[in-house]
Chains A and B, each alone.
Chain A
Amino acid sequence: MRLLVIEDDTEVAAFVAKGLEELGHTVDRAADGKEGLFLATTERYDALIVDRMLPVVDGLTIVQTLRAADDPVPILILSALGEVDDRVKGLRAGGDDYLVKPFAFSELSARLDALLRRSRTADAPEVQLQVEDLVMDRLARDVRRGGTAIELKPREFRLLEYLMRHAGQVVTRTMLLERVWDYHFDPQTNVIDVHISRLRAKIDKDFDRPLLKTVRGAGYRLG
Chain B
Amino acid sequence: MDRLRVIRTSTFQLTLLYATFFALSITILAGFLYWSTIGYMQRQTDATIEAEVTGLAEQYRSLRLLGLVRVIRERIEANPDSGAIYLFADRNYKPLAGNLDRWPELASRADGWYSFRHRTRRGDVAARARVFALPEGLVLLVGREIADLDRTASIFLNALAWGGGIAFILSLLGGVLMSSNVLRRVEQINATTHRIISGDLSGRVQSRGTGDEFDELADNFNRMLDEIERLLSRVRHVGDSIAHDLRTPLTRLRNSLDEAARMDNPIDARQRIEDALADADGLLRTFSALLRIANIESGSYAGDQQRVSMRVLVEDAVELYQALADERHVLLSASCSADGHVCGDRDLLFQLLVNLIDNAVKYTPEGGRIEVELAEHAQCVVLRVADSGPGIPAELRERVLDSFYRLDSSRHAPGNGLGLSLVKAVADYHGAVLSLGDNRPGLEVEVRFPRGDVIH
A183-B324 in contact (CB<8A): no
> Which residues of chain A are near B291, meaning CB under 8 Å?
81-82, 84
- In the complex, how many angstroms separate the beta carbon of B7 from the nearest chain A beta carbon? 53
B347-A82 in contact (CB<8A): no
A217-B347 in contact (CB<8A): no
* Partner among A184, A195, A217 whose Cβ is within 8 Å of the Cβ of B323: A195
A194-B324 in contact (CB<8A): yes
Knowing A85-B295, A85-B301, the reply to whether A183 touches B287 (Cβ < 8 A) is no
In the complex, A150 Cα to B83 Cα: how many Å? 136
* Partner among A82, A102, A191 whose Cβ is within 8 Å of the Cβ of B321: A191
> Which residues of chain A are near B277, meaning CB under 8 Å?
104, 217
> Which residues of chain A are near B63, meaning CB under 8 Å?
none
**Residue of A at shortest CB range from B313?**
A183
B354-A187 in contact (CB<8A): yes
B74 at interface, CB cutoff 8 A: no
> Which residues of chain A are near B99, meaning CB under 8 Å?
none
A188-B358 in contact (CB<8A): yes
**Residue of B at shortest CB range from A154?**
B319
CB contacts under 8 Å to A, within B259-308, are 274, 277-278, 281, 284-285, 287-289, 291-292, 294-295, 301-304
B351 at interface, CB cutoff 8 A: yes
A89 at interface, CB cutoff 8 A: yes
B362 at interface, CB cutoff 8 A: yes
> Which residues of chain B are near A189, meaning CB under 8 Å?
324, 358, 361-362, 414
* Partner among A81, A89, A188 whose Cβ is within 8 Å of the Cβ of B288: A81
> Which residues of chain B are near A216, meaning CB under 8 Å?
274
**Residue of A at shortest CB range from B285?**
A186
A186-B351 in contact (CB<8A): yes
A188-B347 in contact (CB<8A): no
B interface footprint on A75-107 (CB within 8 Å = 1, 0 otherwise): 000000110111011000000000010101000
B350 at interface, CB cutoff 8 A: yes
B295-A82 in contact (CB<8A): yes
A198-B323 in contact (CB<8A): yes
> Which residues of chain B are near A186, meaning CB under 8 Å?
285, 288-289, 292, 351
A181 at interface, CB cutoff 8 A: yes
**Residue of A at shortest CB range from B352?**
A185
A179 at interface, CB cutoff 8 A: no
In the complex, A85 Cα to B292 Cα: how many Å? 8
- In the complex, how many angstroms separate the beta carbon of B153 from the nearest chain A beta carbon? 84
B395 at interface, CB cutoff 8 A: no
**Residue of A at shortest CB range from B287?**
A81
A213 at interface, CB cutoff 8 A: no
In the complex, A128 Cα to B199 Cα: how many Å? 71
**Residue of B at shortest CB range from A87?**
B347
CB contacts under 8 Å to B, within A159-205, are 181, 183-189, 191, 194-195, 198
In the complex, A85 Cα to B320 Cα: how many Å? 22
User: How many B residues, CB 8 Å from partner?
Assistant: 37
> Which residues of chain B are near A81, meaning CB under 8 Å?
284, 287-288, 291
- In the complex, how many angstroms separate the beta carbon of B352 from the nearest chain A beta carbon? 9
B355 at interface, CB cutoff 8 A: yes
A25 at interface, CB cutoff 8 A: no
Knowing A183-B350, A185-B347, A191-B321, the reply to whether A84 touches B288 (Cβ < 8 A) is yes
B287-A85 in contact (CB<8A): no
CB contacts under 8 Å to A, within B295-345, are 295, 301-304, 316, 319-321, 323-324, 327
In the complex, A187 Cα to B351 Cα: how many Å? 8
Report which residue of A86, A186, A187, A217 has the largest number of chain B beta carbons within 10 angstroms of its beta carbon: A186
B415 at interface, CB cutoff 8 A: yes
- In the complex, how many angstroms separate the beta carbon of A14 from the nearest chain B beta carbon? 19
> Which residues of chain A are near B281, meaning CB under 8 Å?
104
B185 at interface, CB cutoff 8 A: no
B118 at interface, CB cutoff 8 A: no
A67 at interface, CB cutoff 8 A: no
B98 at interface, CB cutoff 8 A: no
* Partner among A89, A100, A104, A188 whose Cβ is within 8 Å of the Cβ of B355: A188
- In the complex, how many angstroms separate the beta carbon of B349 from the nearest chain A beta carbon? 10
> Which residues of chain B are near A184, meaning CB under 8 Å?
347
> Which residues of chain B are near A88, meaning CB under 8 Å?
303-304
B442 at interface, CB cutoff 8 A: no
Report which residue of A100, A155, A188 has the largest number of chain B beta carbons within 10 angstroms of its beta carbon: A188
B389 at interface, CB cutoff 8 A: no
A155-B324 in contact (CB<8A): no
In the complex, A128 Cα to B355 Cα: how many Å? 37
* Partner among B278, B292, B354 whose Cβ is within 8 Å of the Cβ of A188: B354
Residue pairs across A and B with Cβ atoms less than 8 A apart, 29 shown, are A81-B288, A81-B291, A82-B288, A82-B295, A86-B302, A88-B303, A88-B304, A102-B284, A183-B316, A183-B346, A183-B347, A183-B350, A184-B347, A185-B351, A185-B354, A186-B285, A186-B289, A188-B354, A188-B415, A189-B358, A191-B320, A191-B321, A191-B323, A191-B358, A195-B320, A198-B323, A216-B274, A217-B274, A217-B277
Beyond the given A82-B294, A185-B354, could you list 14 further A-B residue pairs with CB under 8 A, ordered by the A residue number?
Answer: A81-B287, A82-B291, A84-B295, A86-B302, A89-B302, A100-B288, A186-B351, A188-B354, A188-B355, A188-B415, A191-B358, A194-B323, A195-B320, A216-B274
Which 10 A-B residue pairings sit nearest by Cβ, starting from the closest? A82-B291, A188-B358, A194-B323, A185-B351, A183-B350, A184-B347, A194-B324, A88-B304, A191-B324, A185-B350
